């Protein structure tokens, strides 16, 4: 990932998620609406100074729906915050279960991009390139972000949580559902850290963590996790499956999302000792 730091303000352009009003995500980073509809193809390409940027700009400029405004007291600090904002994109992707692309950096806000602006490709692997409708952050979501988002950022210091966020937010980039399942379950297993009898333990731990007070829901989660883990095991070992792998990947992603949200809202990761029956 390449971030240019020449000014005290820069913009990381996003697709796959849109916001109705500005939301402060942390010191020096604001999540904002964006609009590049005023740019025609030639004007967009004229912002590129490197050949490799042209393909990324052509692919993503029509898809931009929001942006991070990065500000600080020095160009060096701005570039550090902008580089770290990739984790904010992944975190938002995991929280709201949407595929967020963060492929372009601009020297001006999206509404002011012109032939005189500078657009650069942050990375060139085309991750986040899709034609799905962007997730719209609602007023209720904005309230949730204000209450919990700083805590979510703090949890990223934990390797298990960070890995789970990355697994959930990037599994979209793999067309093979077997690979998607492997990534999603790597995130789930990492949160709980079970080393033996993994299917049974994760089923119990997930059920007890997600539904400590509802016995019927706890049993439902237990049965679902066992079923999905069986599918995951067969899939990653190349076995033949009767189950729909895409459905299994989607249901597994929903479980990991619920797990991450619970961790964020409680402020901690589950402890095995607290979940043993």
Instruction: Identify whether 3 is part of a domain.
Output: no
What tokens does 74 get? 């020095």
Domain range holding 133?
Answer: 9-139
Residues 277 and 201 sit within 8 Å (Cβ to Cβ)? no
Instruction: Identify whether 149 is part of a domain.
Output: no
Residues 259 and 193 sit within 8 Å (Cβ to Cβ)? no
Model confidence pTM above 0.95: no
pLDDT value, residue 147: 97
Rounded Cα–Cα distance for residues 106 and 121 (Å): 9
Rounded Cα–Cα distance for residues 184 and 187 (Å): 5
How would DSSP label each residue in 158-194?
Answer: SHHHHHHHHHHHHGGG-S-HHHHHHHHHHHHHHHH--
pLDDT value, residue 242: 67
User: How many Å separate Cα 169 from the centre of its chain?
Assistant: 4
pLDDT value, residue 217: 92
Final residue in a domain of this structure, among 111, 139, 167: 139
C-alpha dihedral over 186, 191, 196, 197, to 10 degrees?
Answer: -80
- 195 and 85 within one domain: no
Q: Taking CA 49 as the corner, what is the angle to CA 11 and CA 70, rounded to the nearest 5 degrees?
A: 10
Final residue in a domain of this structure, among 94, 109, 139: 139
Per-10-residue mean pLDDT, the chain, length 277: 70 95 95 91 80 84 94 89 93 96 91 87 78 92 97 96 95 88 92 75 90 91 92 78 81 96 95 75
Instruction: Identify whether 44 is part of a domain.
Output: yes
Instruction: Identify whether 4 is part of a domain.
Output: no
- 269 and 195 within one domain: yes
Instruction: Identify whether 222 is part of a domain.
Output: yes
- 263 and 174 within one domain: yes
The sign of the CA dihedral 184, 190, 191, 192 is positive
Q: Give the burial string for 165-197 (b: 16+ CB within 10 Å, else e).
A: bbbbbbbbbeeebbebbbbbbbbbbbbbebeee
Instruction: Identify whether 183 is part of a domain.
Output: yes
pLDDT value, residue 239: 67
- 183 and 122 within one domain: no
Site of tokens 């602006």:
117
- 163 and 118 within one domain: no
- 128 and 210 within one domain: no
Instruction: Identify whether 144 is part of a domain.
Output: no
Residues 262 and 189 sit within 8 Å (Cβ to Cβ)? no
C-alpha dihedral over 18, 165, 235, 135, to 10 degrees?
Answer: -10
pLDDT value, residue 200: 86
For the chain, what is the domain count?
2
Final residue in a domain of this structure, among 92, 107, 139: 139
């Amino acid at each position: 990932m390449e971030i240019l730091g020449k000014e005290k303000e820069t913009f990381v352009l996003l697709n796959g998620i849109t916001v109705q009003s500005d939301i402060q995500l942390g010191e020096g980073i604001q999540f904002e609406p964006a609009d590049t509809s005023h740019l025609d193809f030639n004007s967009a390409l004229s912002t590129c100074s490197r050949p490799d940027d042209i393909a990324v700009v052509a692919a993503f400029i029509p898809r931009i729906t929001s942006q991070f405004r990065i500000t600080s007291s020095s160009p060096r600090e701005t570039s550090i915050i902008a580089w770290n904002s990739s984790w904010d994109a992944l975190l938002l992707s995991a929280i709201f279960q949407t595929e967020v692309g963060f492929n372009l950096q601009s020297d001006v806000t999206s509404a002011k991009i012109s032939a005189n602006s500078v657009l650069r490709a942050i990375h060139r692997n085309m991750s986040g390139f899709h034609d799905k409708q962007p997730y719209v952050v609602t007023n209720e979501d904005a309230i949730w972000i204000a209450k919990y988002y700083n805590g979510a950022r703090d949890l990223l210091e934990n390797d298990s949580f960070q890995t789970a966020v990355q697994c959930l937010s990037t599994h979209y980039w793999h067309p093979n559902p077997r690979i998607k399942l492997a990534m999603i379950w790597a995130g789930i297993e990492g949160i709980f850290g079970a080393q033996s009898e993994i299917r049974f333990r994760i089923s119990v731990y997930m059920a007890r963590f997600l539904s400590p007070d509802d016995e019927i829901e706890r049993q439902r989660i237990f049965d679902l996790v066992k079923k999905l883990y069986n599918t995951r095991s067969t899939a990653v070992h190349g076995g033949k499956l009767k189950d729909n792998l895409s459905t299994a990947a989607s249901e597994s992603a929903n479980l990991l999302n619920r797990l991450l949200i619970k961790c964020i809202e409680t402020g901690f990761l589950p402890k095995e000792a607290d979940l043993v029956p």
